Chain A
């Protein structure tokens, strides 16, 4: 029997709840993501997906438990944010941005030798190497997203968390993303992806969780993503607004 390689952790949330002021944003979420698996998170806008991701990263106060169970030592976490706001304040090239994330040497002094090859190689992987000298403000939304994705690959992550913005991934980007994620899965990386393209989720995800304040449904996509459930997502209003 083939033994599964596990590099990533088992991510476990039990009874996770979060309130901002008086409104409940997340209500008793139970969630498990396993190594070598792509776990997609879907749900209406304002339903708490990004909040969920931030609490997974340990950046928000919450009730309930979140644990990362590593096989050996804690590994590396890669994070792809929805967006970074750079346009008006600082002239940042693609290369500047990645070196800023991955090296100690001040990014304005150039790329340190230690990471130069790695930076070129991840930019090549997301097909952005030819645009590495361009400013962020000169990129399309999809291209920016590819650069944000590229930085999460240095150093090679064991747990990868993607918070994808609505409408910004283009077709080329989607193909590149899913190719790389397939490779990472084979290496036993745990992947959690906030996704908006339901067709892609149905095709690619191993497990899907739909969140709208609480869990609407959860399971293997072909079992749970039927018309009735999908209709629920599209017609759902963010729950906290309805209170």
Chain B
């Protein structure tokens, strides 16, 4: 893996030195940031179209909150403060599976149930966080909450690459099945799609990509990058193809601009916030476009 990064870094550094790319790209951490943006943007943009189509925006938001609890548990259990990944993954994925299980069994309206889970997870997370804050410098937690590209290590990037590849391979291979089981479970089932199994696979994928993106975008905002680009794309698309294409484009642009621009301007703001502000500008612009077109 390290070799591939080095190749990528050298390529970018050479291009920056030759004046083709901005000067700041001669620094390794800026290149790391760009790499993360190019990994997260397209993946969250593409999978986000399914999250929106399956009406799971609120669900993914709950998983983002669960990540926070996972981090607190990890630190309490003595995992490295900057990368409590075992607990983070374990808790988030178990949370997603359990929430999906309860959704199938409770017979309750989904938004009510997710509301309960979301609040419970946040309560547990914040309680544990306060406990943790006595033993460590609490500012480290800011990185997890709001994202920080500068602290992303090679390991963080490797993890992200694995999650991105898994999400893209599984997501593309089963795109139709995921979507059809959201549109009409009975029809999907007649079409030989085991709906329940695919629901579980989907929520685990969401948990996986959420957790892997937490360091960069932040637990509070990661789900926004799943939802806002797809929602913006929905405003201006007239087919599934343009929906996915615009969502990927808007998400990637938001990630790249949100990460690089604050560095260029030497603004010390959290990456997650910057990315989502850019995405929101896209959303407002496409909404206006839609309103104008309709008139």
Point out residues on A near B: beta carbons under 8 Å: 54, 57-59, 77-79, 81, 83-86, 89-93, 96, 99-101, 103-110, 133, 135, 151
Contacts and interface: CB of A to CB of B under 8 A. Distances in A.
Interface stretch (B32-40, B87-95, B207-215, B235-243): B235-243
B239 to A, nearest CB: 5
| 9 nearest CB pairs, A to B | A106-B175, A90-B53, A79-B190, A108-B244, A96-B240, A108-B240, A91-B237, A84-B184, A84-B183
B10 interface: no
A100 B176 contact: yes
8 contacts: A59-B185, A79-B187, A89-B55, A91-B237, A101-B180, A107-B175, A108-B175, A133-B239
Interface string B156-198: 0000000000000000110110011001111101110000000
Contacts, number: 84
Nearest to A60: B186
A83 B186 CA distance: 11
Interface of B: 49, 52-55, 172-173, 175-176, 179-180, 183-187, 189-191, 234, 237-245
B186 A81 contact: yes
Contact of B172 (A57, A99, A100, A106): A106
B240 A91 contact: yes
B183 A85 contact: yes
Contacts of A103: 176
B interface, by DSSP: helix, strand, loop or mixed? Answer: helix
B175 A77 contact: no
Contact of A90 (B49, B184, B185): B49
Given A89-B55, A101-B180, A59 B186 contact: yes
A97 B173 CA distance: 17
Contacts of A101: 176, 180, 187, 191
A91 B239 contact: yes
B238 A106 contact: no
A57 B186 contact: yes
Contacts of A92: 239-240
Contacts of A151: 187
A151 B190 CA distance: 12
Contacts of B242: 91
Nearest to B230: A90
Contacts of A79: 186-187, 190
Contacts of A90: 49, 52-53, 179, 234, 240, 243
Contact of A107 (B176, B185, B189): B176
Contacts of B52: 89-90
Contacts of B175: 106-108
Nearest to A78: B190
Nearest to B171: A106
Contact of B183 (A77, A78, A86, A105): A86
Nearest to A106: B175
Contacts of B234: 89-91
Contacts of A81: 184, 186-187
A96, A101, A106, A109 interface centre (most CB from chain B within 10 Å): A106
Nearest to B234: A91
A26 to B, nearest CB: 17
A81 B184 CA distance: 8
Contacts of B49: 90, 108
Contacts of A59: 185-186, 189
A45 to B, nearest CB: 18
Given A79-B190, A89-B52, A108 B180 contact: no
